[in-house]
C-alpha cells in the first residue's frame, strides 16, 4: 500500500505524547491521532536530579499503552525520543535501559541541538509558509520550562543556536518571593532578560536586524489563535496585535484565561511568563511579526522520517543548515575560509571516490565536511595546543542538527588531525564511542589529515584538484604552476596512515598548467 | 441575567413537573381510542414509574430533610415544601390510577372475555377448589409466615415486596390480637390463570387473594381476624441522584451509614384495612400519615404488564410494528461502502436498529478494520453488539469498550458482560471517576487504499436492540473526517489522556457542552435583536437546567421563537409576560417512548441541526460525558427538519403546556388528525417498500427500456 503509517513518541519534561501519522507522496503528512498525558519528569529532575521510580513506572505504563494504540493502526515504523528531563536525569543510562526493556521501545535521548533541529524541521515542514518567513531575518525562540533556546537565520540558513538558562517555570519560581505585584514582576524579568540578551547580541546577532520571531513552546498558540488567518497553518501577529493581546491577558486571572481561551488551567502557569519573555524578545530585537507555529517535537520527528524515507518531497536542504551553522562557528574562531573551501572540495572528492573502501553513509560525508570546516578553530585559543583546544571548542558549541555522538565524532576527527589516534583499547570516552564509531573517526581522520596536507601553507596554491581511484591507488592531481614541494612532502608523511586505514595508497601529482 | 430571568416564580419544581408527566402517561390509559391492553400497559407504566420516583427522588428529598439541608430548588422550594407538594399530587395520582383501573379497565377486561377475580369471595366452587389445590402445591411450600409477640420482635419487611398483614388470635382467646405477616412470594406469577369458562371466558386471580383465602392454614392454632395486603418502600439502598449538590451527597452518605436499614418512605395498604392493623403497621414501621397510601384495589399495578403479554387477545393490542429497513441501504454491499456514499440517518424504532448492529458486526469481521471503540451504557441481556465486540477481539482487532457501571439499577448486569468482553480480549474501561458516561458513540478505524478512514456512529439512545424497538431515537452513520478525528479524541479522553488541542465538530460534556448550548441560544438572541429570523426548536426528555432556561427566557424576550418538545420534566414556564411569551412546550406521550434529543437553530437563515445524548439537565451538562453532534449533510438536515415538523404538527399525542403549568391536548377542531408515531410508522413502511410498489402508487405507467444485451 502506498500509504505508510508512522508513530512518533516524545518523552518531554511535562508531557509524554504519541502521534500517529499517515504519509504518502501525494497527500504528504497527515496526523491521525494524538494522545498525550501530563507526566512531570522535569520537576523530578529539577528537584531530585533524577526521575523518580514512581514516574518511571508511570512512563512505562503510558508507553505500553501507546504501543497498543500504535498496534491499533498497524504502525510499521516508529521513533521514540526523550528530551531534557530524561537527558539530564542522573540515572538516565539505567533508566533508559529499564524503560526499553519493559516496553520494547528503543529510546533516542536527544541532545539539545538535535531536539531544536527537529523542532525547527516541524516548522519548516509547512514549506511554503516557512520559506516566506525566512525571507527576512528570523530568530526561532523555544521557551522551555528551565531554559530557552534562540536560533538565528542568516538569509535562508539556520546559522546558530544558543541555550540561555532562563526558563519560564524556573524564572517564575525564582522571582516569586520577590514579587510585589504584576508590574514589578514584569520589570524584574525585563531586567534579567536584558542582561542575558545583551550577551547574546554581542556575540551572535551582530548587525542583523531580526524582523521575524518564531515562538515555540510556552502554550501561547491557543491565545493567539484569534489572529490566525484562513488557509494559514502558522498563526502570526503583528507587533501591535501582540501587545494588545499581551495587555488583555496579563490583566486576568488564570481561570478566566482558561475559560476565555478554552485551555486547561494548568497550562496557564507557563503562559504568563512565556508571554512576558516573548514581549521582551520582541522589543529587544525590534521584531515586526511574531509567529506561533504550535507544532510539537513529534511533528518534527515525523517530518524527519518522511523526508529521510522520501515519503514526501521538499525543497529545503536541511544539511545546508547544518553546514551553514558550522561555517558560522568557524568564522567566529577566525578560521581561514578560503583554506576551508579548498579542503572541502578535495576532501569530499576523496570521500566519494572511496565509497567502496570506507562503506560510510552520506551522513558521515556531512560530518567530514563539518570536521573540515572546524578543523582549525583551536588556533583561536592557542597555537600550540591546537588539537585539544579545537576538541573543547567543538564539544562546547552547539551545532544545530547534530546529535551528541555526531558532535563527538567531529570533535575527535579534528583532534586526531593534529595528534595521534590512540588504539581503540586506549580510547577514553564515556562509552558512546564503540568499535563502529571508532572506525568512523579513524576513517574521517585519515581523509582530513591527507587533504589538509594539500594546503599546508594555507595559500591555496592550487585552485583545483582532481581525484581518481585506480585499483589500489588514489591519485590526487593538482593543476597548478605553483611550487608544491612543501605540500608533496607533507602528503607523503600522511600517506602511510591513510594507507593503513583504507589499504589504498594515496599518490600526489602536480600537473603544470599550459 | 439571573435577576431578570432567574426568579423562582419563573420555574416549576421538577418533582411536580414529573408527576405531571406521569399523569400524562395515565391519560393514555384513559384514552378510549386505544386498544384495551395498551391502556393496561400504560397504567402499569405509571405504577412502575411512580415506584422509581419514590425510590430515587422522594428518598433523596427525605434525606435532605434529615440532613437539615435548607437549600431551595429552582422554584424556591425547600425539601419539606417539595415533599408536601409531592404528597398531594401523588395521592391524587394514585386515586386516579385506581379510578381508571376499577371503573374502566376491569369492566372492559370482563367484556373482552377476561375476568380478573379481585376478591376470592367471588370464586365459583370449582374455581375455589382449583385455587386451593394450587395453594397447597405451589404456594404453601414457599411461604414464611411470621408472627409478632413478646418473644418475637417485629420482622424486617423487605423493600418493595408485597406482604399480607394479619391480625390473629389464639383459638379461644378472641380478645387478644397479635400481628402476623407473610410475604407474597415474588418467585410465583402474580396472576394465576384459572380453568377457562365454558363460553371461553378466561379467568385469573391475583396471588395475594389465593393466599388470603388460605391464610388460616398458615396459623393453625390461631383464628385469623383479618388479613390485608400492604407494601412498603424504604430509602435504604437508594442510589442517590447525581443531580444533587456534592456537599449534600456527602452529608447524606454519612447519615445512611448511621442507620441499619432504611426508613419507610411509603406504605401502601388496602383501603378497607382494619384500623387496628394499620395502627400496628404505622407504629412499627414509623411511617407518617402523609406517606400512607390507601389503595382501592390490588397493590402494585405493574402486574398489568404481564396481562399485556398474555397469549390471545390480539384484537386488544396494537398491531405489532416491525421496524423498517433504512431507505437507501441495502444488504448486498458492505456497510462501509454504503456509508462512504453519504451520511446515513437512522430514526428508530420506525427504522430498524439492524444497521447499528451490522456496523459493529461487519467491523468485527472485516479484514481491513483495525480497531473498534464504543461506549456502552445500558445494553440488553443477550446483546448482539456485545457478541460482535467479543468476536472482533478474537479476530485480532483492537477493541476498547467503555462500560458504564453506574447506570441506575443495571450495575450487576453490566459487570457480567463487561467481564465477558475482557475475557475475549477487549480493553474494558469501567467508567470514569465521578462521571457517568452517557454518550453513545462507536468508532471503527479501517485501513483503506488511500489511508486510514474512520467510521462513526453517533446516537441519542443506548446501544440496546430491545429498547430500540420501543424508544424513539436518532443516530447517524458517517465517515466525515472531522467527526472521525473528534471521535478518536473522545476515546483518548475517555482513556485518561489529555483533551485535544481543538474539537472540529463535537461538543463534549461536562467541559464544553453547556457553553456550546449557551452560545447557540445567545446567537439566536443576537439575530433576533438584529431583526433577522431567529428560531429554536429543541426536543429532549427533560428540561430543568436553570442556566439554560434563563438563556431561553432571555432569547424569547428578545424575540426568538422557541418551540420545545419536552417529553418529561419541564421546569420552564410558558406565557410569562415579557419573559416566555415566545416559547411553546409540548410533550408527546404515546406508543413509543420519546427519547431523541434534537436541536435546531435558525442561525440567521443558515440553519444548524444537532443531536445529542444529553438533555438540558444539570446532570447531563455537568456530571456526565455527553456528546452533541451536528447533522451536516443537507439531505439529512431536511429529514431531521421533517421529524421536528411532524412532531410539532402532532395533534393526537401532544400535550401543550399551559401558562398555569397544566398540560392540555391540542385543540383538534378543523384539523386533520395527526399522530406522529403512526405517521412515522406509515412513512417508514412506504419508504422502505420496493420500487415496484412505489411505482404503482403513482398510478403512472412507466415504460420499460430495451434490456441490455
Q: Are B470 and A49 in contact (CB under 8 A)?
A: no
Banded model confidence at residue B242, pLDDT cuts 50, 70, 90: low
Overall residue count recorded for chain A in this entry: 514
Please judge whether B427 and A73 are an interchain contact, meaning their C-beta atoms are less than 8 angstroms apart: no
CA distance A496 to B236: 96
Please judge whether B371 and A34 are an interchain contact, meaning their C-beta atoms are less than 8 angstroms apart: no
Beta partners for B436?
B624
Alpha helices in A418-469 (DSSP H): 435-453
- Angle of helix A239-250 relative to helix A265-285, nearest 10 degrees, comes to 140
Of B228, B347, B348, B438, catalytic: B438
Which residue, among A475, A469, A459, has the nearest Cα to A511 in the 3D structure? A475
Instruction: Reply yes or no on whether the pLDDT at B326 is more than 90.
Output: yes
Output the pLDDT for position A430: 59
Which range in A449-463, B51-65, B360-374, B376-390 is most confidently predicted, on average pLDDT?
Answer: B360-374
Banded model confidence at residue B260, pLDDT cuts 50, 70, 90: very low
B427 vs A contacts (CB less than 8 Å): 68
Each residue's pLDDT tens digit, B355-369: 999 999 999 999 999
Nearest CB partner across the interface for B450, out of A3, A71, A294: A3
Tell me whether the omega of the peptide bond preceding residue B349 falls within 30 degrees of 0, making it cis.
Answer: yes
Instruction: Reply yes or no on whether the pLDDT at B417 is more than 90.
Output: no
- The rounded mean pLDDT for chain B is 89
- The rounded mean pLDDT for chain A is 85
Residue B70: strand, helix, or coil:
coil
Task: Compute chain A's Rg from CA coordinates.
Answer: 25
Q: Please determine whether the domains at B335-504 and B508-694 fall in the same fold group of CATH.
A: yes
Output the pLDDT for position B446: 95
Mean pLDDT of B216-238: 85
* Domain boundaries, given as residue ranges, for chain B: 2-316, 335-504, 508-694
Banded model confidence at residue B685, pLDDT cuts 50, 70, 90: very high
Query: E-strand spans in A170-301?
Result: 212-217, 235-238, 289-292
Which residue, among A63, A265, A45, A257, has the nearest Cα to A167 in the 3D structure? A45
Each residue's pLDDT tens digit, B564-595: 999 999 999 999 999 999 999 999 999 999 99
Domains of chain A as residue ranges with CATH: 4-111+300-308 (3.30.420.40), 126-294 (3.30.420.150), 318-511 (1.10.3210.10)
Of the two residues A425 and B218, the one the predictor is more confident about is B218
A37 vs B contacts (CB less than 8 Å): 496-498
Each residue's pLDDT tens digit, A217-259: 878 888 888 887 777 778 888 999 998 888 888 777 777 888 7
A460 Cβ neighbours under 8 A, 6+ residues apart: A338, A339, A342
Share of chain B above pLDDT 70, in %: 92
CA distance A438 to A436: 5
Nearest CB partner across the interface for A32, out of B452, B497, B499: B452
CATH topology of domain B335-504: Endonuclease; Chain A (3.30.870)
Of the two residues A104 and A457, the one the predictor is more confident about is A104
Q: Give the β-pairing of B663-665 and B451-459.
A: unpaired
Of the two residues B394 and B501, the one the predictor is more confident about is B394
CATH number for the domain formed by residue range(s) B2-316: 3.30.1840.10
Output the pLDDT for position A490: 86
In 10 A of CB B146, how many CB atoms? 17
Q: Are A441 and A413 in contact (CB under 8 A)?
A: yes
Share of chain B above pLDDT 90, in %: 68
Is B438 annotated in the active site?
yes
Banded model confidence at residue B256, pLDDT cuts 50, 70, 90: low
Please judge whether A36 and B449 are an interchain contact, meaning their C-beta atoms are less than 8 angstroms apart: no
Instruction: Reply yes or no on whether the pLDDT at B696 is more than 70.
Output: no
DSSP B343-387: -EEEEETTB-SHHHHHHHHHHHH-TTEEEEEEEESS--TT-HHHH
DSSP B385-430: HHHHHHHHHHTT-EEEEEE-TTSTTTHHHHHHHHHHHHHHT-EEE-
Quick one: how far is CA B63 from the chain centroid? 24
Residue B168: strand, helix, or coil:
strand
Which residue, among B560, B644, B634, B532, has the nearest Cα to B598 in the 3D structure? B644
Among all residues of chain A, which has the CA nearest to that of B488? Answer: A33
Output the pLDDT for position A35: 93
CA distance A349 to A355: 10
Please check whether the domain covering B508-694 is classified as CATH 3.30.870.10.
yes
Q: Which chain A residues touch B if contact means CB-CB below 8 Å?
A: 1, 3, 5, 15, 22, 24, 27, 30, 32-38, 65, 68, 71-74, 221-222, 262, 264, 294
For residue A357, give the H/E element and its range: helix A355-358
Distances (CA, A) of B512 to B437, B515, B516, B517, B628: 15, 6, 6, 9, 10
Amino acid at each position: 500500500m502506498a500509504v505508510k503509517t508512522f508513530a512518533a513518541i516524545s518523552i518531554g519534561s511535562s508531557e509524554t505524547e504519541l502521534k500517529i501519522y499517515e504519509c504518502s507522496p501525494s497527500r504528504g503528512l497527515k496526523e491521525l491521532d494524538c494522545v498525550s498525558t501530563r507526566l512531570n519528569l522535569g520537576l523530578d529532575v529539577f528537584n531530585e536530579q533524577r526521575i523518580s521510580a514512581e514516574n518511571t513506572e508511570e512512563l512505562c505504563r503510558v508507553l505500553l499503552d501507546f504501543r497498543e494504540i500504535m498496534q491499533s493502526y498497524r504502525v510499521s515504523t516508529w521513533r521514540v525520543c526523550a528530551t531534557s528531563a530524561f537527558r539530564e536525569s542522573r540515572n538516565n543510562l539505567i533508566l533508559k535501559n529499564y524503560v526499553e526493556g519493559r516496553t520494547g521501545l528503543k529510546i533516542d535521548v536527544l541532545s539539545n541541538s538535535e531536539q531544536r533541529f527537529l523542532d525547527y524541521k516541524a516548522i519548516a515542514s509547512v514549506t511554503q509558509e516557512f520559506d516566506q518567513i525566512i525571507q527576512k531575518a528570523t530568530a526561532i525562540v523555544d521557551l522551555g520550562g528551565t531554559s530557552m533556546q534562540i536560533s538565528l537565520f542568516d538569509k535562508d540558513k539556520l546559522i546558530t543556536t544558543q541555550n540561555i538558562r532562563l526558563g519560564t517555570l524556573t524564572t517564575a519560581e525564582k522571582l516569586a518571593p520577590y514579587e510585589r505585584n504584576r508590574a514589578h514582576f514584569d520589570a524584574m524579568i525585563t531586567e534579567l532578560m536584558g542582561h542575558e540578551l545583551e550577551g547574546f547580541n554581542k556575540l551572535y546577532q551582530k548587525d542583523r536586524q531580526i524582523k521575524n520571531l518564531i515562538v515555540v513552546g510556552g502554550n501561547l498558540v491557543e491565545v493567539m489563535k484569534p489572529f490566525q488567518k484562513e488557509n494559514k497553518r502558522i498563526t502570526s501577529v503583528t507587533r501591535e496585535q501582540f501587545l494588545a493581546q499581551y495587555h488583555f491577558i496579563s490583566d486576568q486571572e488564570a481561570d478566566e484565561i482558561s475559560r476565555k481561551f478554552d485551555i486547561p488551567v494548568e497550562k496557564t502557569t507557563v503562559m504568563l511568563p512565556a508571554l512576558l519573555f516573548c514581549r521582551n524578545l520582541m522589543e529587544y530585537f525590534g521584531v515586526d511579526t511574531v509567529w506561533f507555529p504550535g507544532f510539537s517535537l513529534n511533528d518534527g520527528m515525523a517530518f524527519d522520517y518522511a523526508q529521510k524515507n522520501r515519503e514526501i518531497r521538499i525543497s529545503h536542504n536541511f544539511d545546508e543548515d547544518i553546514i551553514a551553522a558550522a561555517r558560522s562557528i568557524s568564522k567566529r574562531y577566525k578560521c581561514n575560509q578560503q583554506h576551508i573551501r579548498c579542503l572541502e572540495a578535495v576532501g569530499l572528492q576523496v570521500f566519494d571516490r572511496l565509497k567502496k573502501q570506507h562503506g560510510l553513509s552520506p551522513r558521515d560525508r556531512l560530518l567530514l565536511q563539518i570536521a573540515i570546516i572546524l578543523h582549525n578553530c583551536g588556533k583561536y585559543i592557542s597555537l600550540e595546543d591546537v588539537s585539544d583546544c579545537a576538541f573543547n571548542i567543538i564539544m562546547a558549541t552547539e551545532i544545530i542538527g547534530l546529535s551528541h555522538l555526531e558532535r563527538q565524532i567531529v570533535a575527535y576527527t579534528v583532534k586526531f588531525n593534529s595528534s595521534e589516534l590512540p588504539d581503540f583499547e586506549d580510547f577514553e570516552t564515556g562509552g558512546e564511542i564503540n568499535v563502529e564509531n571508532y572506525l568512523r573517526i579513524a576513517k574521517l581522520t585519515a581523509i582530513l589529515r591527507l587533504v589538509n596536507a594539500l594546503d599546508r601553507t594555507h595559500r591555496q596554491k592550487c585552485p583545483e584538484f582532481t581525484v581518481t581511484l585506480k585499483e589500489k591507488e588514489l591519485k590526487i592531481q593538482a593543476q597548478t604552476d605553483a611550487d608544491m614541494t612543501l605540500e608533496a612532502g607533507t602528503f607523503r608523511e600522511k600517506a602511510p596512515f591513510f594507507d593503513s586505514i583504507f589499504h589504498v595508497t594515496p599518490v600526489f601529482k602536480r600537473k603544470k598548467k599550459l | 441575567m439571573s435577576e431578570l430571568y432567574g426568579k423562582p416564580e419563573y420555574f416549576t419544581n421538577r418533582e411536580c413537573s414529573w408527576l405531571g408527566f406521569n399523569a400524562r402517561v395515565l391519560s393514555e390509559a384513559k384514552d378510549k381510542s386505544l386498544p384495551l391492553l395498551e391502556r393496561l400497559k400504560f397504567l402499569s407504566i405509571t405504577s412502575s414509574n411512580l415506584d422509581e420516583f419514590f425510590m430515587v427522588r422522594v428518598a433523596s428529598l427525605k434525606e435532605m430533610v434529615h440532613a437539615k439541608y435548607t437549600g431551595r430548588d429552582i422554584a424556591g422550594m425547600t425539601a419539606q415544601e417539595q415533599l408536601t407538594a409531592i404528597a398531594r399530587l401523588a395521592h391524587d395520582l394514585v386515586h386516579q390510577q385506581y379510578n381508571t383501573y376499577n371503573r374502566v379497565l376491569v369492566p372492559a377486561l370482563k367484556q373482552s372475555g377476561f375476568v380478573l377475580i379481585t376478591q376470592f369471595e367471588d370464586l365459583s366452587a370449582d374455581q375455589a377448589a382449583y385455587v386451593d389445590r394450587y395453594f397447597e402445591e405451589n404456594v404453601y411450600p414457599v411461604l414464611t409466615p411470621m408472627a409478632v409477640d413478646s418473644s418475637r420482635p417485629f420482622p424486617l419487611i423487605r423493600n418493595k415486596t408485597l406482604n399480607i398483614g394479619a391480625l390473629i388470635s389464639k383459638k379461644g382467646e378472641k380478645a387478644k390480637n397479635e400481628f402476623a405477616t407473610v410475604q407474597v412470594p415474588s418467585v410465583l406469577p402474580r396472576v394465576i390463570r384459572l380453568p377457562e369458562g365454558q363460553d371461553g371466558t378466561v379467568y385469573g386471580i391475583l396471588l395475594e387473594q389465593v393466599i388470603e383465602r388460605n391464610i388460616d392454614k398458615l396459623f393453625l392454632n390461631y383464628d385469623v381476624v383479618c388479613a390485608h395486603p400492604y407494601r412498603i418502600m424504604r430509602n435504604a439502598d437508594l442510589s442517590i441522584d447525581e443531580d444533587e449538590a456534592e456537599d449534600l451527597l456527602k452529608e447524606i452518605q454519612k447519615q445512611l451509614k448511621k442507620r441499619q436499614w432504611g426508613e419507610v418512605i411509603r406504605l401502601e395498604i388496602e383501603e378497607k384495612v382494619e384500623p387496628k392493623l394499620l395502627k400496628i403497621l404505622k407504629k412499627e414501621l414509623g411511617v407518617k400519615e402523609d406517606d400512607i397510601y390507601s389503595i382501592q384495589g390490588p397493590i402494585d399495578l405493574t402486574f398489568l404488564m404481564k396481562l399485556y403479554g398474555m397469549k390471545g387477545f390480539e384484537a386488544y393490542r396494537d398491531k405489532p410494528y416491525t421496524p423498517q429497513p433504512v431507505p437507501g441501504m441495502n444488504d448486498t454491499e458492505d456497510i462501509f461502502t454504503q456509508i462512504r456514499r453519504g451520511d446515513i440517518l437512522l430514526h428508530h424504532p420506525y427504522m430498524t436498529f439492524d444497521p447499528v448492529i451490522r456496523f459493529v458486526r461487519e467491523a468485527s469481521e472485516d479484514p481491513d478494520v483495525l480497531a473498534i471503540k464504543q461506549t456502552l451504557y445500558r445494553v440488553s441481556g443477550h446483546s448482539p453488539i456485545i457478541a460482535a465486540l467479543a468476536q472482533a477481539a478474537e479476530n485480532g482487532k483492537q477493541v476498547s469498550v467503555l462500560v458504564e457501571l453506574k447506570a441506575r439499577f443495571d450495575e450487576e448486569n453490566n459487570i457480567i458482560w463487561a467481564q465477558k468482553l475482557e475475557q475475549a480480549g477487549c480493553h474494558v474501561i469501567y467508567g470514569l471517576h465521578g462521571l457517568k458516561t452517557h454518550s453513545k458513540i462507536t468508532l471503527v478505524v479501517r485501513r483503506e487504499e488511500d489511508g486510514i478512514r474512520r467510521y462513526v456512529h453517533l446516537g441519542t439512545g443506548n446501544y440496546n436492540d430491545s429498547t430500540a424497538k420501543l424508544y424513539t431515537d436518532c443516530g447517524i452513520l458517517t465517515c466525515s473526517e472531522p467527526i472521525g478525528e473528534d471521535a478518536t479524541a473522545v476515546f483518548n479522553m475517555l482513556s485518561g489522556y489529555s483533551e485535544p488541542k481543538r474539537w472540529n465538530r463535537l461538543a463534549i460534556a461536562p467541559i464544553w457542552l453547556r457553553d456550546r448550548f449557551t452560545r447557540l441560544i445567545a446567537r439566536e438572541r443576537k439575530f433576533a435583536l438584529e431583526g433577522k429570523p431567529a428560531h429554536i426548536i429543541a426536543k429532549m426528555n427533560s428540561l430543568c437546567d436553570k442556566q439554560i432556561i434563563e438563556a431561553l427566557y432571555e432569547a424569547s424576550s428578545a424575540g426568538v421563537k422557541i418551540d420545545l418538545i419536552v417529553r418529561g420534566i419541564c421546569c420552564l414556564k410558558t406565557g410569562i409576560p415579557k419573559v416566555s411569551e415566545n416559547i411553546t412546550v409540548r410533550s408527546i406521550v404515546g406508543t413509543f417512548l420519546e427519547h431523541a434529543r434534537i436541536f435546531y437553530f435558525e442561525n440567521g437563515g443558515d440553519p444548524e441541526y444537532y443531536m445529542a445524548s444529553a438533555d438540558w439537565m444539570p446532570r447531563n451538562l455537568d456530571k456526565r460525558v455527553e456528546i452533541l453532534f451536528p447533522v451536516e449533510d443537507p439531505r439529512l438536515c431536511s429529514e431531521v427538519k421533517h421529524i421536528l415538523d411532524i412532531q410539532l404538527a402532532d395533534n393526537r399525542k401532544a400535550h401543550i403546556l399551559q401558562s398555569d403549568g397544566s398540560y392540555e391536548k391540542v385543540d383538534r377542531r378543523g384539523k386533520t388528525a395527526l399522530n406522529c408515531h403512526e405517521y412515522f410508522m406509515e412513512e417508514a413502511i412506504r419508504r422502505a417498500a420496493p420500487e415496484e410498489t412505489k411505482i404503482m402508487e403513482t398510478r403512472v405507467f412507466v415504460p420499460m427500456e430495451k434490456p441490455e444485451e
